[in-house]
Amino acid sequence: MGLPKAKLYHYFLVISSMILVFIFAVLNDISTDGLFNFDQYFFLIAFVPLVLHLQRVHQNQDSRTLDPELKIVALSTFSLALLLSLGLIYFLSDFVVNNV
């Protein structure tokens, strides 16, 4: 496959998953009550390390130096799943409303 095509495939996987998760959140937000719920989009924080990861992959020329990036992608994916699930159950708004 080679490094250039592997990078393109990696970009496709990461960027398409980011877009699809965002579309899911928008559609879920529209279907629930029609109001904007800020806590449902709290998962966007997890996109920052993924975008930085894609920049490092783009600048990289040696495939062996990409090994430490796997940890970043794994932790970002875990935080994305955790933040998305907490947003979907409205954890943050319930926590704020009940403790005020």
Say what the pLDDT of residue 29 is. 75
Structure-derived torsion over alpha carbons of residues 67, 78, 48, 65, reported in degrees to the nearest 10: 0
Alpha helices (runs of H) in 1-100, residue ranges in sequence order: 3-32, 47-59, 69-88, 91-99
In the block, residue with structure tokens 């080679």: 2
pLDDT averaged over consecutive 10-residue blocks of the chain (100 residues)? 89 95 85 69 91 93 87 93 84 59
- Do residues 87 and 46 touch, judged by C-beta distance below 8 A? no
Residue 23 in tokens? 């579309």
pTM: 0.79
What is the Cα 3 distance to its own chain's centre?
24
